[in-house]
Structure formats: C-alpha cells, structure tokens
Structure 1
Amino acid sequence: MGTLTGHLVPGIVLYGVGLYYAVLASRAILRGQKLLSPPLPPKEKQGQRWWQRVQVEGLVKVGAGMTLVLGEFFFPPGANHFPLVDWEDPRRPFRNHDSWQHATIFGVFLLSALADFASQVWLARPSVPLERAATALAVAVLLLEMGAHVEHKDALEVRVHALLLLPAVLMLLVLAAEVWAPDQPPLWMLKAWLTLVFGSWLLHVTSILYAPLSGQRWSAENPVDLAFAVTFFCWHLGFGAAALAAVYSLCSLCHRRHSSSGLGGAWGSYQTCPMDDSGGELEKLRPRGLSSGQGCPPAPSCALSCSFPELSEEAE
C-alpha cells in the first residue's frame, strides 16, 4: 500500500462503498424500512441459491480483500514482499513490516466477510448484530495497525494519517452502536457519511504523498503545508455531507416519481412479510379476500400480497 496504486485502489473502493451505503440508507428511510436491508425469510423458506442471498457488502469485502492482500505481497509483478523474516541474517530480523501491516488490515476485513456469509447463508435467520460486530472488529484492527503505521514517519505522513483515524474512530462507535440498535436511521446516514469522508480523504492523501496536483511535493518541514492538510480535511467533511445529500435527493426524486405514477416496484412502499402469526401482524397484512383460516399464500404470493396489498386487491 506504500505506493500510489496501493492508496488509490482502497480509496476508490471505500468511496464506492460509501455511495452504496448512502443509496441503501436513503431508500430504507424513504420506504419506511425498520432495517437497513430487507430481512431474508427463515432458511427453510428460502428458495434462492446461497450466492443469491449474499449482500453486496460481503462480496465487495471478499473481492477487494483478496485483491489487496495479494497486491501487498506481489505487486508490482515480480515483487515478493511476503517473507516475514530474513533467514540469511544471523539476527533473524523481521522484513516487509508495512506490507504485513496492510495485509493484516485487509485480511481482517476479508474474515469479516465470512461472518456476513455465515449470517446470511448458514444461520437459520440472518444476524445483523453478528455482521456489525465482525465489521467493528475489523475497524478496530485498522485503528491499531494505523496507529503503529505512522511510527517513524515524517510530520506530513503523521498528520494526514492522524486525520484519517478520525472517521475510523467514529465509524467504530457507529458500528458498535448498530450491534444493539440496528434499526436507527441516523446511524445509517452517519455510517454512509463517515465512509464517504474516509474514502475521499484517502484519495486526497494519495495525491498529497505521491501525485500533488500542483506538481510540487508537499514538505513535512513547512508548517503551512501541515496547516492546509487540516483545512482540506475539513473540506472533505463538507464534501461527504454534500454527496450524501445529493444521493438522498436523487433517491427521493425517484421515489416520488414512481409513487406518483403508481408503478411502485423497487421504489414503492416496503413492508416485510411476517415470519409468524404472532401479534396479529399477519392478519393486518392479509388481503381482504382471504379468510382468517386460509393462512398466508406460498412464498411468491405472500411476498406480493404482504409488500403490495393494493396489487392483490386489483387482481381480485
């Protein structure tokens, strides 16, 4: 990761994940969902294949994690940063410390994807707290490794990486809160905003350290450069909020357009089909044409009648 490409690729991935979170949170709020992602039915009622039940976040963790871990050790082609110990030296010193630090960060996020898969594929019911706890653990490892990563660096690298830690600390707190309260829309939006800030600032750090837009390298000895690093980071806080507001506005326009046209579809009002008949919730969602003793129709009809009662009424 100690190269332009090594900072650029994670920055792009994180910013893309931030936009994905922003769209997901905006749609969930507009549709009145109680959870960020629509819950899957119990395992025995799922008709999809296992890879169709995995959410995008887990797939991104696997793809990006494996690519970045391999890139740390074997990029550029022909390089080998995998040896951990120099066995030829009698003192047996450690080698490739930065590569192993970065690989540890990416590897823990890769392991958190396994928790996502276990929750969404193998457990009887998906466990949101398990998924959030695994991601929170990965962010905690990120904080520990980045704290050690800035040791023996110049003042500029310490400054830009310290600023990068701020959204990471707040993200850890948000994920920890979601373990116990996954149904809070403010946490959804805050997580999207922090991910956007983290991704955009990482991209800016790439420019500062490896490809300055002005063509002049930033100086760790110049207090003005160090001061502007903080100023630019504050701008990224505003840029992240503006991007989040823009995504929400676009989602709101699409939601209103589809609602006014009566198309519904992916942007229509969403209400999950209950998994049991407790509390009378199933009776409230059952179309008027069905008697109370008939029960909920099979899976496809149930999903249609529970999510869009008006469509069932028209069909009758």
Structure 2
Amino acid sequence: MIVNDSLLYSACPPRNKGIWAGLWKISYGGLIKMVTGSILTVYVVFCLDDGMVFVDREVPPRFMYPKEWQHLTMFILLALNGCVDVMSNNLLPQRCVLLEKGTVALTFYVLLMLLVSHVQGSAGVELQTHSLLIMVVFLMMLVLTIQLWAPDAVHLSLIETFLFLMMGSWLVQVGFILYRPVSGYPWQDDDISDIMFITTFFCWHVMTNALCLLGIYSIASLWHRCHSPSWKLTASTEAPYYMSPEGPVYELLPEVEPSEKDEQALLLSESAP
C-alpha cells in the first residue's frame, strides 16, 4: 500500500513456466486453511471417547454433543474456504476476487449464527469471553460485506486485517482462560472482578494488535524509504503521455529547434487519420 501497488489481487501465474514456478505461485493462505481445518476436523471427531454420536438410542431420542458439532461445522467451513482460495488462485483461468470475498463473507455469516447459538446456557466467564468474540465476528461480517462492493478500499483492508488479528489473538486467550489458566486455578463465574478483568484483557489485545499494525507499517515505510528513495523522482521526471485502450497515443516531445518543430509537425499531420 505504501507504493500504491496491488499485490494481493495479482493474476494467476502462467502454466508454461514449469513446476517450481507453479509451486511458488500457489495460494499458501488457502492451503493453510485447508490443512488446518482438516486437522481440527479430525481432532474433533476423535477427541470424544464414544465418537461423534449424532443422537442417542433412548426414547425419545436426543441430540448429542451440540457444541462439538458446532465446532466441527466451523472447522469444515475453514477447510472449504481454503478450497475456494486455492481454486480461485491456481485452478481458474483468471483469479476471481469476488468469489473469494463472497466465500469469506458467507463463512462469517454462518460463524456468527453458530456463535450466537453457542453461548446458549453459558454464564459468567464463558459468556463474557464469547460475547466479546461475537462482537469481533459481527464487525468482521460488516466489513466483508462492504468489501463485496469496494474490494480495493485500503481502509477496509486495514480494518479487516486488524479484526483478523483480534479474532486470532483473543481465541488463544480464551483457550487459556477456559481450559488452561496461567495461574493454575479456574476462573470464578461468581467473582465480578474476573468478569471485569476479561474485558480489560480484551482492551489490551486491542491496543497490542493496533501497535502491531503500526509497527509493521513503520518498518515497511522505513525500509522502502531507505532502499527506494528516488522512485517518486524517477516517476516525475518521465515524459507525460496520453493513454488509450490500445496504449499510448503519443508522447510529448522535448524542446527542439524551430526547424525540427516544423518537420515534426509535418510528419504528425501526414500520419494523423
């Protein structure tokens, strides 16, 4: 973004440059989504002693493990999202950014519904952690929906990146809060100070991720200024030209002698349609 160059939406690589060129241009983000979603799906299926039982055999039958089935649905969505990214980047003749953005937006719509249902019956610490996560997912859903009509908006891309950082870091924090507290003692649902500190930790995540983005931008800007100090000067010293759909029509010529000007005017008048 510093050099005003869109590297995120580059075209698909040609298929006649060898295997290594194809591997270099593969969508590693989509591949990571596929692998991670598949591993987590297998983990959820085999983490239970009696397996992922859908309904029991009692009368009347009851649905079993509702939260585990919701986790399974979330991980399957992640894997499918990665499949769409790989297909758009490496299998289609031309990359379809709208397809990728639409898939991510649809994924977050489903994720929001699952999370709202996921907190049913929760209270105290678990409810507070998931409520803050739902807020981040809701904001992400709005940003991704707006990006369907404005995919090249720089500010929306920055907000999307920040919300993804918030979602990832807060999920890690929630895992430690609910399952592996750092102190070794479980958080207390009836202690109001624990609920308040959860919100405080969330605010610390907001500040940390904002500083992370600011640091990345500062380092990238400094590196660009040190290694490319004259790119603007080079661009400004080039002769201006007028573009058409087929290419440049003509280029402004430098100052020449009067006799040369007459010859150039004659040539231009003869070559003009």
Q: TM-score, normalization: structure 1?
A: 0.68
Preserved contact between residue 109 and residue 135 of structure 1 (Cα < 8 Å):
no
Q: Distance in 2 between matches of 1:115 and 1:38?
A: 15
Shift of 1:38: 4.2
| Residues 123-177 of structure 1: per-residue CA shift (max 9 Å, x gap) | 3321111101101111111111111111112221111100011111111111112
Query: In the alignment, what sits opposite 1:225?
Result: 194
C-alpha distance after superposition, 1:161-202 (max 9, x if no partner): 000111111111111122111111111111111111111111
* Residue 35 of structure 2, aligned match among 63, 66, 76: 63
Query: CA 1:210–1:138 in structure 2 vs 1: closer, same or farther (change >3 Å)?
Result: same
The aligned residue for residue 279 of structure 1 is 245
Gapped regions of structure 1 (runs ≥ 5): 1-28, 263-268, 270-276, 285-316
* Moved beyond 6 Å, runs of 4+: none
User: 2:31–2:83: 8 Å Cα contact kept in structure 1?
Assistant: no
Q: Does 1:83 align with 2:53?
A: yes
Contact residue 9 and residue 97 of structure 2 kept, 8 A? no
User: Does 2:20 match 1:54?
Assistant: no
Query: Which residue does 2:211 correspond to in 1?
Result: 242
Which has the larger Rg? 2
Distance in 2 between residues matched to 1:82 and 1:278, nearest whole Å: 62
What TM-score, normalized by structure 2, do the two folds share? 0.78
Aligned length: 237
The amino acid of 2:8's aligned partner reads S
Task: Give a deviation string over 1:201-254, Cα, whole Å, max 9, x none.
Answer: 111112221222233321111112111211221121111101111111222233
Aligned pairs (5 A) from 1:267-306: 279-280=245-246, 282-283=247-248
- Which residue of structure 1 lines up, in the alignment, with residue 81 of structure 2? 112
- Evaluate the alpha carbon distance shift between residue 81 and residue 253 of structure 1 in structure 2; reply closer, same or farther with a 3 A threshold: farther
Equivalence map 1:1-316=2 (5 Å)? 29-33=1-5, 35=6, 37-41=8-12, 45-48=14-17, 52-75=24-47, 79-86=49-56, 88-260=57-229, 279-280=245-246, 282-283=247-248
Tell me, yes or no, if the aligned pair for 1:112 and 1:138 is still in contact at 8 Å: yes
Greater relative contact order (CA < 8 Å, ≥ 6 in sequence) = 1
Identity %: 33
Q: Which runs of 5+ in 2 are unaligned?
A: 236-242, 250-273
Partners of 1:130 and 1:179 within 8 A in 2: no
